[in-house]
Structure 1
C-alpha cells in the first residue's frame, strides 16, 4: 500500500457513544478515518461533521459485525481503497440483558462474534501492515467489568471484557518491539446509548453521578494511554479505586457483594 499523508484510523461501532467520541478525538488529532457500524445515516452525519470541522478524509463502511464474514469484508475493502490502518479502535459492543438461559443461543453467539471474535480477527488481519510499517496502535475498548467478579444478568459481558484485557496484554508484549502499542481501555459507567439498548437506563440512572464519565473523556484518555504505551488503562480515579478494592477482597466475599448489587445495574429478565 502507498503511504498516506496522514495516519488512518479504523473505528468500529462509530455511529454513537464511545465510538463516535473516539472518531471525533482522532479527527481533532489529525487522523483520517474509516468509520464502520450498522447505521449508515449516523455514520454519514458524523463523517460530514468531521470533514467540515477538521478537514480530514472520512470514509464510511456500513457492515454488521454479527456476520462472521464482516471483518474480512472490511479488510478487503480497505485494501481495495489502498488504505493502510495505523490505528485500530475495537469499540463495537453491546449487552445482552437477562440470565444466560433466558436468551436463545443465537443471541449469545452474535454477542460473542461482535465482542470477541470480530475485534480479535480485525487485529490479526491488520497487524501485518502495522508490523511492515514498524508503527501501529490498537485500542481494545474493554470495561471495568472485566476486572470485577462476574454478576448475575448480562452473563457474558464481563467475561468478554476480561478476555479483551488479557488478549491486549499478550498482544502488547508480542508487539512492543515492533513499534506497535496495544492498550485495553476500561471505562466504567459512561454516558452513551449503551444502557438504552440493554434496557437498563432506568436502573443505572439511579447510580450516583460521581460514578459516571463522559464519552469524550474516555476517548481522549484512551488515546493518551495507548500513546504512552500503557497496556491496560482504567478510566477515572473512582474506577481505579473500585478495581483495586475488588482485587483485595477474597473471591467468596467479592462474589457475594456482586450478587447483592447486580440488580442495581443489570437487567435480570430477558427481553
Structure 2
C-alpha cells in the first residue's frame, strides 16, 4: 500500500516538511502536489490509483528532489483514514500541510441513486475529511504550526439545485467546517482555508458524464488546475490568511451577487440545471 522515493540527507535539511494530498492522482490534486513540491515540501500522495501516484512520485523526485510516500487508499472505505494515519506513524511522518482534495459528483436526483452510492460519497466528501483533520491537527498543535486546505466549491455558496443533490451540501459543510477549524487552530499557529473553485479543467466532468454539456460554457468561466492550487496555497501560506478562498474574479462576483440577491441565484440555478446536469431520462 505504500512506496517511498528517497533523497539525500542534505536535501532533507532543506525540506519545508511533509504535506499530505488526497485525490493526488489527477486534476487539482496533482496540481497541488507539483506546487507543494516546488515550495520544498515532501509529499504523501493518497488516491486509489497507485500506478498514477508512482508516476507522479517519480516526476516530482526527478524535478524537485521530493521525497514521496505513496499510499493507495479508497477513502470510501470507513477504515481508510485510520489506516493512513497508522502508516504515517509507522513511517515517522509528521504532516505539516493537509490538503483534503479527494472528491467527485454523483449524477441524478437523490431518489434515483442507491443509498450505498450516496453513503460512499458522504464518506469521501465529509467523514474522511473530518477524520483526517481530527487525527492530524493534534500534531500541528504540538508543533505550533500547520496548514489545512479543504477543497470545497463555489457550489457551497450558491442555492441548492436539482440533481447532484449532495454535492453542494457537502461543499457547504466543508466551508463551515473550515471556518470553525480556522478559529480553533489560529492560536496554535494553524491556518485553515476552504478553497472554493468554480468550473476547473480536470477529469471531474468526464467521470460524471457531463463533459459535452459543460464544454459549451464560455472560456472565461473555466479555471486551470494549477492556478486553483496556487491560489489555495497562497491562502494558507501567504502573508494574508484567507479562511474562505475563491479563485477567479468571475466566481467572487457570483458569490457576492448571490449574497446580495439570493433570489437571483435561485433563478439562475433553476434555469441552468438541465443544461449542465445529467439525469436518468437524458
TM above 0.5, yes or no, is: yes
Find the counterpart in structure 1 of residue 18 from structure 2.
8
C-alpha distance in 1, partners of 2:219/2:280? 25
Deviation sequence 1:240-259 (CA, Å, 0-9, x none)? 001011111144x4323311
Mapping for residues 84-163 of structure 1, pairs under 5 Å:
84-163=94-173
Question: In the alignment, is residue 26 of structure 1 matched against residue 12 of structure 2?
Answer: no
Contact residue 103 and residue 270 of structure 1 kept, 8 A:
no
Structure-1-length-normalised TM-score: 0.96
Q: Partners of 2:281 and 2:206 in 1: how far apart?
A: 14
Tell whether the 8 Å contact from 1:152 to 1:268 is kept in structure 2 after alignment. no
Match for residue 191 of structure 2? 181
Aligned partners of 1:158, 1:24: CA distance in 2, in Å? Answer: 27
Higher relative contact order (CA 8 A, sep 6+): 1
Equivalent-residue separation in structure 2 for 1:96 and 1:87 (angstroms): 28
**In the aligned structure 2, how far is the partner of 1:153 from the partner of 1:171?**
30
Which residue pairs with 1:247 in the alignment?
Answer: 259
Q: CA deviation at 1:269?
A: 2.5
SS in 1 for 2:77: coil
CA distance in 2: counterparts of 1:169 and 1:137, whole angstroms? 13
Aligned match for 2:219, one of 209, 228, 238 = 209
Q: Which ranges of structure 2 fall in alignment gaps of 5 or more residues?
A: 1-11
Matched, 1:265 2:269: no
CA contact (8 A) 1:97 1:270 kept: no
Number of residue pairs aligned between Structure 1 and Structure 2: 267
Q: Which residue of 1 aligns with 2:45?
A: 35
Give 5+ residue unaligned stretches, structure 1: none
1:104-140 superposed Cα distances (whole Å, 9 cap, x missing partner): 0000000000000001100000000000000000000
Secondary structure at 2:40 match in 1: coil
Task: Tell me the secondary structure at the aligned position of residue 182 of structure 1.
Answer: strand
CA distance in 2, matches of 1:266, 1:27: 35
- Work out the CA distance in 1 between the residues paired with 2:249 and 2:49: 34
C-alpha deviation, 1:260, in angstroms: 1.3
Q: CA deviation at 1:261?
A: 1.1
For 2:95, what is the secondary structure of its paired residue? coil
Separation in 2, partners of 1:226, 1:151: 30
2:9 paired residue number: none
2:5 alignment partner in structure 1 = none
Alignment TM-score, normalising by the size of structure 2? 0.92
